[in-house]
Amino acid sequence: MTHEYQLEILFGASLLYLLILFFIAYVTDSGLVPDSWTSHPFVYVLSLGVYATSWSYYGSVGFAEREGYMFLTVYLGVTIAFLFSPLLLRPILRLTQEYQLTSLADLFAFRYRSQTAGVLVTLFMLVGSLPYIALQIRAITTSLSVLTHEVPPQQLALGFCGMLILFAIMFGARHISPRERHRGLVAAIAFESLVKLTALLVVGLFSLFHVFSGPVDLSNWLQEHPEAVEALYAPMREGPWMTLLFLSFCAAFLLPRQFHMLFGENLSMRSMDTASWAFPLFLLLLNLAIPPILWAGDLLQLEMDSDYYVLGITLVNAPEWLPVLAFIGGFSAASAMVIVSTLALSSMCMTHLLLPASYPDPFVNVYRWLLWGRRFLIALIIMAGFVFYHLIEQNQGLVELGLISFVAVAQFLPGVIGLLYWPNATRTGFLSGLCGGIAVWVYALLLPLLERSGFIDSGLSLPSLHHSFGMQQWHFATFWSLACNGMLFVIVSIFSRQSPEERESARACHSDIANPAPLEGVVAASTTQQFTQDLAEIIGPETASQEVAQALQDLGMEEDEVRPGELRRLRERIERNLSGLLGPQMAHIIINRQLTMDGEAKTALADSIRHVEEQLEASRTQLRGVNADLDNLRRFHRQILLDLPLGVCAVTPDHRVLVWNLAMEVLSGIPNRKVLGYKLNALPSPWGDLLAGFALAQDRHIPHMEIAVGGRPHWFNLHKATIPDPDQTARSSASRTGLVMLLEDLTDLETLEAELAHSDRLASIGRLAAGVAHEIGNPITGIASLAQNMRHENSPEILEESVDIILQQTKRINSIIGSLMNFSRSGSVGADYATFKLRGIIEEAIQLVKLTRSGKQVDYIISCRKKLKLVGDRQRLSQVLVNLLANASDASKPGDRIEIIAVEEGGEVRLEVMDQGRGIPEQVQQEIFEPFFTTKEPGEGTGLGLSMAYKIVQEHQGQIEIDSVPGIGTRMVITLPQHQDQQNHEATTDH
Amino acid sequence: MPRRAEPGRQNESTLLLLIFVLFLFASPLTSWWSSDQHFWFLPYLLWLLVILIGAWLHYRFRRHDP
């Protein structure tokens, strides 16, 4: 019993099927299906099933009948390519993702920096694909003829083409931006793959269990017909097995539809890794049913072309739905191929043929123009496929048509190998090789096909050159076209030179990491608004504004960005984004013309170092061998710099911040993201002025600089060193050097020292305590006696005299207490710099020292002009004098003299304290300024006095020296600077 | 447990697998195993073997990319 179907029913079933596909695409695009489903690696794997077209679906059985297991080569080659993906597909995916390259023509145009390469690849791809598209149309019409037992009219084929045009536009050219991934398309193609796999497996199972009566019956049949198995194996040993393996290896990723799904619609590297084994498994399952279907056809002795056994066996004693399912499976395979191939080809034609030939007016919306252009091209390509279908010989086998396309795309393999693994390959070499390969392909395959179809009559005896037919023809064409292609590519590349741009692209293609090249130069446009204005002149204001906004968003930049390094990155990002829209070469030309580089501005390696570092960080896992070791070393050194407990700020030659380490963040309270790339003088106060000033200063070290941070004083030692640019020559490096500045925070040390000074003063007060008690005790005793006498005294004169004496004694007590209070109060360092009379603090210090026992027994002689003034911290300088005088009196014998001499000398005040004491041995003189060093008995001195004196004098930018001769005496000399305004003031008051 | 990506080692394994596959399917060995005609599904079994090795390598060097 055989079934017969009406054309209208089958056409309607096809339309319904396409509508289901569109529904799947639509709900996926609308976000109604969870992302975790649509982005699952297995959806991606199934979408790659677009490789299996009607050639696989129908033609495999015919191929197996004619060439045995040779048909498996078409899938084994793909298996090899996918297993090889870490070294072949991954690098291409990295490039296409990083540089937004959507097709093979984009990839070649980018690597070889040639619009010609893009045009040539596109044209050849287009010509090479037409037979393949024609094959699909043939498969659909022939399958209809098998099911309906009548020759379908040409209008029906045209109707199918119209339907495919409509759905191709709906699937892939529905959105404004052609750059975005078509998740809906991927989901729909994955569904199509599932349908054709299911259909083929169902037909295979039908063959096994209904045509045969199960595996045992099949086994028995094979034993009875050993020639059936032999027919499968024999061609493997005799035919061009290796050639077909090689061709399918190339087709796995070079066919336009494969390239589009593999790289253009890929969402992650993980998906590709899964595909490396899962896609070959899909192909294995798809082909598992082929031998049983072939043998079932033989058993049934079907009188039809073995290419259509898949349909034929379902027409004999099968349920009514099975032929329709088998037909839908075949239609699914053909329509998926046509839709995806057309989308890929239309995109290539747009960027490499239409755009360079007729770039739209800036006032036209580029997105809309591109959208309608693509729609037009989709229609044109499918119709060209229909014309080709119409012209070719009707009995041309499906496999022959497919293999013509396979040999065509194999011509791109030398270029791809050069792109991935030969940095010195040149544009001229690539173009020469490709032209040579195309010439041989046209001569050996295309012309014979057209001649056999009666379309042309070349007059040449084409096959006579190789004297081969059948499968040998493919072997011949493949070998000679690739040999010619490869040899020309290598030889011309060796003898030609690369342009600088090409060299840069080659470097990007051969690097372990994405775009490692430092970005050199400064963009002339200095704001993002200027970017938009400049771009608007060519791509129109609306598109320019959207593209700049998109690039800013991609890079996480603000609209007010002005840093040259960041603007350079923005320029590069816009070029990449435009590359996805207009193709790499067109984008390159537009960017070079509109966003020009400032020829005057110079850059150093330091300017782009941040970009290089970011790229290295992003691509760490890709680095291997020495690169990985060097990267580890770099990270180690960088970590040292970042964790250094000193504030580190490195700047470029134009004083833009390059490094701002953790200590610097803590000191300043400014995170590094807010300063990196900015000029020093743009930093918040006080850091901007401080660092910018220091960067310009002649001094390489500034000690003890006081800065108010957050209203509180901080002290820093500043150091700087130049960083010569390694790229600059020794002669020119002087003008182009960066700087590294170190900030040593002394604030804690200063606070500690202030506490020590206070302790020292308290210790001094302790030592003075007995004297104080005595000094205060005497007047109080006097006052008490006078008060006692006043009770009995009536004479007003005596009473008045007593009151005067009491007041005098009280004044004396007040004076002593006042001196002590002044001396002992704790104050912060440097808080009170003021102008004061030097003599006043000398007298005060003497008064304090006199309170001690030793201080009383010596005479003090002051030689100091009354009006001599100093600027400084009065209390701390008083502490210095008390310490010096106390030491001098301790060292003196009763009745000795201590002289205090203060004179002005050349803008300085020289203060000497001389005693006639026992002196200090020379070996000890070196150590007396060290903290806790003392020559006194335990309990008599803290050892802090002179070290504090030394410290305080240093704070006042002065010096302290000792000149001592044992047995004769000691002279302490303090030199303090006298400020200019202070001198002027004194000059005025003296007159 | 899958290892962290080691590009160098993964590439080595990929090359070894490729040599094995070429040895199996693109060398005189192909003629040898194709001369045994007892099992029609032998090419499929060899193909499956290669896929399983590929899958094992994939899980061994599974990457942590997005």
Domain containing residue A683: CATH number: 3.30.450.20
DSSP state of A147: H
Q: Is B55 on the interface with A (CB under 8 A)?
A: yes
Distance CA B12, CA B22 (A): 15
Same domain, A716 and A765: no
> Measured between CA atoms, how close is A265 to chain B, in angstroms?
15
Residue A432 in domain: no
3-state secondary structure of A280: helix
- Identify all chain A residues contacting B52, using CB atoms and an 8 Å cutoff: 277
Q: How many domains does chain A have?
A: 4
Residues A740 and A755 in one domain: no
Question: Who among B7, B10, B26 is closest to A245 (CB)?
Answer: B26
Strand intervals (E) in chain B: none
Q: Which is more confidently placed, A256 or A135?
A: A256
- The C-alpha atoms of residue A149 and residue A476 are separated, in whole angstroms, by 38
Q: What is the pLDDT of residue A207?
A: 92
A209-213 LR contacts (CB < 8 Å, sep 24+): A210/A317, A210/A318, A211/A296, A211/A299, A211/A300, A211/A313, A211/A316, A212/A292, A212/A295, A212/A296, A212/A299
Q: What's the DSSP call for residue A909?
A: E
Q: Are residues A733 and A755 in the same domain?
A: no
User: What is the model's pLDDT at position A731?
Assistant: 47
Chain A residues with CB-CB distance to B34 below 8 A: 69, 233, 236-237
Summarize pLDDT for A713-757 with one digit per residue, the tens: 888 889 999 887 665 554 444 456 788 899 888 888 878 877 777
Query: What pLDDT, on the 0 to 100 scale, is given for residue B60?
Result: 82
Number of CB pairs, chain A paired with chain B, less than 8 A apart? 98
Distance from CA of B45 to the nearest CA of A (A): 10
pLDDT (0 to 100) of residue A463: 53
Residue A902 is classified by DSSP as E
What values do phi and psi take at A386, rounded to 5?
A: -65, -40
Confidence of residue A380 (pLDDT cuts 50, 70, 90): very high
Tell me whether strands A897-905 and A859-864 are parallel, antiparallel or unpaired. parallel
Tell me, what DSSP letter sits at residue A181?
Answer: -
Are A776 and A819 within 8 A, CB to CB? Answer: no
Q: Which of A321, A677, A649 is nearest to A522 (CA)?
A: A677
The structure tokens listed for A321 are 């739905």
Task: Confirm whether A636 is domain-assigned.
Answer: yes
A502 within some domain? no
Least confident of A246-250, A523-527, A718-722: A523-527
Two structure tokens written together for A375: 């729609």
pLDDT at A415: 93
Look up residue A526 and give its two tokens.
């200095």
Q: Which two tokens stand for residue A231?
A: 């027919």
Q: Does B46 touch chain A (CB under 8 A)?
A: no
Q: Quick one: A697 and A719 in the same domain?
A: yes
CA of A710 vs chain B CAs: smallest distance (Å): 44
In a domain, A209, yes or no: yes
Residue with tokens 């899938």: A75
Q: Is residue A765 part of a domain?
A: yes
pLDDT of residue A598: 73
Find out whether A707 and A687 touch, Cβ atoms under 8 Å.
Answer: no
Which of B7, B31, B52 shows the shortest C-beta gap to A624?
Answer: B7
* pLDDT over 60 at A176, yes or no: no
Average pLDDT along chain A: 82
Contact B44 A280 (CB under 8 A): no
In angstroms, the CA A164 to CA A170 distance is: 10
Q: pLDDT tens digits for A194-219?
A: 999 999 999 999 999 999 988 999 99
Give me the residue from A84, A226, A291 closest to B14, CB to CB.
A84
Give the nearest partner residue to A236 out of B30, B58, B66, using CB atoms: B30
Asked whether residue A814 is domain-assigned, the answer is yes
Of all residues in chain A, the one with the smallest CA distance to B58 is A273
Band of pLDDT at residue A252, cut at 50, 70 and 90? very high
Between A600 and B62, the more confident residue is B62
- Domain boundary residue, one of A745, A778, A804: A745
Own/partner pairs, A315-321, CB within 8 angstroms, 24+ separation: A315/A2, A315/A3, A315/A146, A315/A147, A316/A1, A316/A2, A316/A211, A317/A1, A317/A210, A318/A3, A318/A206, A318/A210, A320/A3
Is the Cβ of B28 closer than 8 Å to some Cβ of chain A? no
Q: Report which of A102, A117, A113, A105 is spatially closest to residue A507, judged by C-alpha positions.
A: A113
Q: Which residues of B touch A181 (CB under 8 A)?
A: none
Q: Transcribe A52-76 into DSSP letters.
A: S-HIIIIIHHHHHHHHGGGGGHHHH
* Beta-strand relationship, A869-873 and A897-905: unpaired
The answer to whether residue A891 scores a pLDDT higher than 90 is: no
Whether residue A624 and residue B37 make contact (CB cut-off 8 A), yes or no, is no
Beta bridge partners of A708: A713
* Domain termination residue (choose one: A707, A724, A745): A745
One DSSP character per residue, A36-49 reads HHHTSHHHHHHHGG
Please tell me the distance in Å from B1's CA to the nearest CA on chain A: 17
- Who among A273, A281, A291 is closest to B40 (CB)? A291
- Cβ distance of B48 and A270 shorter than 8 Å: no
CA–CA distances in Å: residue A826 to residues A710, A757, A758, A829: 22, 9, 6, 9
In this model, does residue A515 exceed pLDDT 70? no
Which one of A355, A377, A393 terminates a domain? A393
Indicate if A690 and A658 belong to the same structural domain: yes
The answer to whether residue B1 neighbours chain A at the CB level (below 8 Å) is no
Do A577 and A710 lie in one domain? The reply is no
Is there a domain that residue A20 lies in? Answer: yes
b/e per residue B7-23 (b: at least 16 CB within 10 A): beebeebbeebeeebee
Residues in chain A within 8 Å Cβ distance of B26 = 241-242, 245
Q: Is the peptide bond between A686 and the residue preceding it cis, with omega within 30 degrees of 0?
A: yes
As a whole number of angstroms, the longest Cα–Cα distance in chain B is 47
State which residues form the domain around A734.
Answer: 626-745
Residue B63 has pLDDT above 70, yes or no: no
Say whether both A813 and A765 belong to one domain. yes
Contacts of A705 (CB under 8 A, 6+ apart): A690, A715, A716, A717, A718
Nearest residue to A108 via CA among A409, A346, A338, A342: A409
Q: What is the pLDDT of residue B1?
A: 42
- The residue among A936, A935, A897 whose CA lies nearest residue A915 is A897
pLDDT band at A428 (very low <50, low <70, confident <90, very high): very high
Question: Contact, A537 vs A362, CB < 8 A?
Answer: yes
- Does residue A614 form part of some domain? no
Pick the more confident residue, A941 or A1.
Answer: A941
Measured N-to-C along each axis, helices A290-300 and A60-67 cross at an angle, to the nearest 10 degrees, of: 80
Residue range A640-665: mean pLDDT, rounded: 86
Of A4-8, A334-338, A792-796, B44-48, the poorest mean pLDDT is in A4-8
Binned at pLDDT 50, 70 and 90, residue A284 comes out as very high
Tell if the CB–CB gap between A87 and B11 is shorter than 8 Å: yes
pLDDT, residue A985, reads 52
With beta carbons less than 8 A apart as the criterion, state whether A523 and A568 touch: yes
Given this model, what pLDDT does residue B2 score?
A: 44
CA distance B65 to chain A (A): 6
Residues A337 and A241 in one domain: yes
Amino acid at A669: G
Q: How many CB atoms lie within 10 A of CB A534?
A: 19
One domain, residues A832 and A905: yes
Instruction: Say how far apart CA A881 and CA A899 lie, in whole Å.
Output: 12
Which among B35, B40, B48 is the nearest to A222, CB-wise?
A: B40
CA distance A126 to A105: 11
The predicted-structure confidence for A86-123, as pLDDT tens digits, reads as follows: 888 988 988 888 888 888 999 999 899 888 888 999 99
